[in-house]
Chain A
Amino acid sequence: MSLETEVEALRRVPLFRGIDETKLRLLAFISDRTRYQKGERLCSQGEEGDSAFIILLGTADVRVDTPEGERTVAQVGENSIVGEIAILCDVPRTATLVAATDMDVLIVSKDDFLKLLKEFPDISLEVMRTLALRLERTTRDLAEAQRRAGD
């Protein structure tokens, strides 16, 4: 369990694709490596978000509150980053994350993530690109949904 293995994992995260290795090592160093056992919560919907999670190993269920109780709406797996929205724009967590298997996670705190973005603008660019892609996809989904509703 050393920085090297973490850097390997980080390299596979799409968000950090274009970033050189020393910076990834720095990111790995400043984040907390944490283990979660199956069933443990990483974060809960509605609470204030203070960190982002980079999943190195295992998968987590993304759950949202519905009138009928919590419902799993998606799963996130290895090499994905979750919870970054909460730390970028100070909104409460939009969903609950529960470890579906035993997990290894890198936790980056809000302050450090912002410092890192400031220090290395190319990471910001990459974050922007990822967010733009998501927005584009969401817009398309919305249009699709509206079209279907209009039918």
Chain B
Amino acid sequence: MARRRDGARPHPADPDAFMEKSLFSFIWRFSKRQQIFILCVTVLTYPVTYILLELPKLIVNDAVQGSGFPRAVFGFEFDQVSYLVLLCFTFLGLVVVSNGLKLFLNVYKGRLGERMLRRLRFELFQRVLRFRLPHFRKVSSGEIIPMITSEVEDVGGFIGEAFALPAYQGGMLVVQLGFIFMQDPLLGLAAISSYPIQAYIIPKLQRKVVLLSRRRVKNVRVIADKVGESITGVPEIHANDASAWHSADLSDRLYENFKIRYEIYNRKYFIKFLNNFMNQLTPFFFYLIGGYLVIEGDLSIGALLAVIAAYKDLAGPWKELLAYYQMTADVSVKYQTVVENFDPVDIYPAERLTSDETVALKGDLVLSNVSFSGGAAGQEVFDVSLKVPQGQMVAVVGPDGSGRAEVLQLAAGLVSPSSGRVEIGGQDLDKLSEATLGREIAYVGGAVHVWTGTIRDNMYYGLRHRPLVGPERTAEEQRAHERWLTEARLTVNPTYDRAAVWDDYAAAGVKDLAELDRRALELLSAVGLDADVYRLGLQSRFDPTLDDKFAERILAVRATLERRIAEDPTLRGLVELWNISQFNASATLAENLFFAVPKDPDITMDQVPDLPEVKAFLKETGIDGRLEEIGLKIAETMIELFANVSGDSGLLGTYSFITQDDLPEFDRIVRNARSVVQKSRMQDADRARLAGLAFKLVPARHRLGVMTDELKAEICQARKQFLEKVVAPGETFVAIDPGVYLPPLTIEDNLLFGRARVDRRDARQRIDQVIRSIVEETGLREPIMFAGFNYHVGVSGSRLSASQRRRLALVRGLLKNAPVTILDDIATGLNDEDQQLRQTLRALLEGRTLLFGSPYTGLAEEFHAHVLLDQGRLASKQADPT
């Protein structure tokens, strides 16, 4: 059962305050019923196995060679043949039963192991969430990740065997030993004579191995941490030419790992050697002593043979037991090495995370004699007392390292004071659950984190506390869900439904998703992120099946744009619109030929010619030959143009679609193609390269003169064939059609149904302006911004700029609609933009409590009051409204 350290327990009411320190108490505590069941079934297999071994003897001796038939079995009479048949079928039946039991047992053990593993892993993760923030200065993700993932993996495999194996194999051993002892006590003693020595030496040796595996686990953790750190800091490595140092560092660790492993092997296999030797030593005594006894006539030869046979059977279980012992030692040490990291003394109680009770935080925010130490100079707070009356806006001013960040985190309940109290409306923040702190307080700190996901995910993150409305499920889905629920309960995992609606509309003060979206849009505009989201929206893709009205509106803009272009002679020259019967000189040959876009947006135009159906089409229609001709002409021209240009001039790199490195290769291809003999034998790879060259040709830009009018007409002809043969019947492409929204293209590309002409200066920018004005006129800006909500921000928001990430986090905080808002180092500049943003924030948060952290004093006058922090102490209070 749970071991408890009395006196040091921070939360006596919490029975799970500590993790089981030993693997066996963990296994026994959470799976004793299953372990006993496994043991029972294992014992059940024992007579089955025994009979299965006895039956063949009975068949041979009794049925085949026996006499006295017919025999009576269970009141039925059997003659010799039917008796043989009966025994044989009994044998077959027992084979099925025995193996069936084994199958059942193996699956049962595997399932139990996986459940326990899930439980353990989840417990570990939840403990990470329960760590206090300062604890994360001591542990790194690089170390924690392997603990939760790979290091506990072996525990799962072990759990099913933990009790059953020693019980079963031990039982076998005892039975066999008993048999030997019954034959002759002396020989029995001889059989176990090596056991005491083995039992003494092997654990001693094994202890060393255990210590080594502990070192190995820790070393691998350091390796994981170093690799992780190298990845996060990779720009620094390159910027400082430090890769040699990191390589040496890691290589050292790998050598360390090798050394430990090598030593483990040496010891592990030495144990094996010793054990095998001891096992063979016993028969040596049997032959010597037993033989002597037989010669002397004290022992029958039959008894000696029986004992030697029994001893052989002894070796099996003994070996198994030894392997089990080694595995136990290994897995135990892994378990302990993991678990000891998840038991900091000051871990938060689990209820802080799991409780769903929200206490309304109304009233003044009061810090009374609060001290805090972050563990380093500049992260300390000494005896700070502060009162922020409800609804007041107070600036907390102090340079970095003055304790400003710590005071604000204390006020947000993110860290706990080492002495003193932080209260809002008389409620001690340290005693409140996250359900209160995370919902009633909006905290946006200096180092914001943006989650991998969409902009929408990130904005509504602060509203997703619990699943609110479950999804509708079909009967089948419901069954799957029930199973999921049962498993979750069995493994003490949470039963929060991921598919449910988590967005808490009421908390944000809105009715439904549409209103929430609108509110988010207002806030985006307020923090000045609207233009960015609009741009992202233009570049995003949108699925017209979700909202066909929006698609229609985009098509309407497309039509308006087309009309305006047609009417305005200056615009007409800027764009070349798609036209099914006309070659578009501002587009590539590939776009012109296929005149369709792949449904899968991940397939680029370059990859299209490699699609099997496209390949087949090109071959069938003979267009591949034409393309090779065009490619050949291009290659010839390029070689001729750049033949005399030196490699380092840089001219080729910018202008040609062949790079300097490719030039000799194309030179070879061209020469091959020209010589009549080799032309027919031109390799497929070379043909593909030539065709690839042709596909990239943009006639209006490259002006190589290869696209004659006849060729253009031919391409337009082939385009129609492609439409008929590949696009229409297949599922891979969407045809370019003025009346159809093309989902694989971005919204922007859908708005402009054509290409900005490459032979007109700044055509793209000028046409973009026209698009923007039409979008504004038709009121499409808003829906496009909503489309921008679905923009994927990349890993940890890597596709956003630092300032965009900060503003996004600000919107997340504001959307929470919390009575208390705490901002640290957000919009603290004295420039117009930040000043404007501060003004907007003050207007938005009118009547609510706001703590505004800033390193600069210049803006203090904008707030009702301000406090100055210096070296962790309150330096002055000015215009204190109290």
Contact = CB atoms under 8 A, between A and B. Distances in A.
Interface string A100-120: 000000010001100110110
B760 interface: yes
Contacts of B702: 29
Given A25-B641, A34-B759, A115 B651 contact: yes
Contacts of A23: 644
A119 B759 contact: no
Contacts of A3: 637, 703-705
B573 interface: yes
B703 A37 contact: no
Q: Is the interface of A mostly helix, strand, loop or mixed?
A: helix
B761 interface: yes
Interface in A78-137: 107, 111-112, 115-116, 118-119
Given A25-B641, A112-B651, A119-B646, A34 B703 contact: no
Nearest to A4: B705
Contacts of B759: 32-35
B573 A37 contact: yes
Given A6-B703, A33-B759, A34-B760, A26 B570 contact: no
Interface residues of B, number: 27
Given A115-B649, A115-B651, A33 B570 contact: no
A29 B703 contact: yes
Contacts of B655: 29-30, 112
A26 B644 CA distance: 10
Interface string A15-26: 000000011011
B651 A119 contact: yes
B523 to A, nearest CB: 40
Contacts of B650: 115
Contacts of B569: 37
A31 to B, nearest CB: 9
Given A1-B700, A25-B640, A112-B654, 18 more contacts: A2-B704, A3-B703, A4-B705, A22-B640, A22-B643, A23-B644, A26-B645, A28-B703, A30-B651, A30-B655, A32-B701, A33-B703, A35-B760, A36-B761, A37-B570, A111-B654, A112-B651, A115-B651
B37 interface: no
B287 interface: no
A148 to B, nearest CB: 41
Contacts of B640: 22, 25
In the complex, which of the residues A6, A25, A29, A34 has the most CB atoms of chain B within 10 Å of its own CB atom?
A29
B633 to A, nearest CB: 12
Interface in A1-55: 1-4, 6, 22-23, 25-26, 28-30, 32-37
A25 B705 CA distance: 12
A37 B763 CA distance: 13
A4 B704 CA distance: 8
B364 to A, nearest CB: 59
Contacts of A115: 649-651
Closest 8 CB pairs of A and B: A2-B705, A30-B655, A119-B649, A26-B641, A34-B761, A115-B651, A115-B649, A3-B703
A3 B703 CA distance: 6
A116 B654 CA distance: 13
Contacts, number: 62
Contacts of B270: none
A17 B697 CA distance: 31
A118 B649 CA distance: 8
A37 B645 CA distance: 35
Interface of B: 569-570, 573, 637, 640-646, 649-651, 654-656, 700-705, 758-761
13 contacts: A3-B703, A3-B704, A4-B705, A6-B703, A29-B704, A32-B701, A34-B760, A35-B760, A37-B569, A115-B650, A116-B651, A119-B649, A119-B651
A6 B702 CA distance: 12
Nearest to A42: B761
Interface of A: 1-4, 6, 22-23, 25-26, 28-30, 32-37, 107, 111-112, 115-116, 118-119
A112 B649 CA distance: 9
A119 B703 contact: no
A3 B702 CA distance: 9
B367 to A, nearest CB: 57
A118 B646 CA distance: 10
B651 A26 contact: yes
A40 B637 CA distance: 33
A35 B703 contact: no
B518 to A, nearest CB: 43
Contacts of A26: 641-642, 645, 651
A32 B654 CA distance: 12
Contacts of A36: 761
Contacts of B700: 1, 33
B585 to A, nearest CB: 9
B191 to A, nearest CB: 91
A103 to B, nearest CB: 11
Nearest to B650: A115
A35 to B, nearest CB: 6
B171 to A, nearest CB: 86
B657 to A, nearest CB: 11
A134 to B, nearest CB: 27
A119 B761 contact: no
Contacts of B760: 34-35
Given A35-B759, A36-B761, A119 B645 contact: yes
Contacts of B656: 29
A28 B637 CA distance: 13
Nearest to B652: A30
Contacts of B758: 32
Contacts of A2: 703-705
A90 B637 CA distance: 34
A2 to B, nearest CB: 3
B667 to A, nearest CB: 16
Nearest to B704: A3
A115 B654 CA distance: 11
Nearest to B642: A26
Contacts of A22: 640-641, 643-644
A136 B462 CA distance: 75
Nearest to A39: B570
B589 to A, nearest CB: 15
In the complex, which of the residues B641, B643, B702 has the most CB atoms of chain A within 10 Å of its own CB atom?
B641
A30 B654 CA distance: 8
Contacts of B646: 119
A30 B704 CA distance: 11
Contacts of B643: 22
A41 to B, nearest CB: 9
A142 B751 CA distance: 57
A119 B649 CA distance: 7
Contacts of B642: 26
A93 to B, nearest CB: 15
Nearest to B699: A1
B481 to A, nearest CB: 61
Nearest to A41: B761
B552 to A, nearest CB: 34
A134 B644 CA distance: 31
A29 B697 CA distance: 13
A9 B470 CA distance: 73
B573 A35 contact: yes
A36 B760 CA distance: 7
A63 B154 CA distance: 82
A136 B655 CA distance: 36
A104 B51 CA distance: 101
Nearest to B761: A34
Nearest to A31: B655
Nearest to B705: A2
Contacts of B701: 32
A147 B704 CA distance: 53
A116 B641 CA distance: 13
Nearest to A29: B641
A123 B517 CA distance: 62
Nearest to A2: B705
A2 B700 CA distance: 9
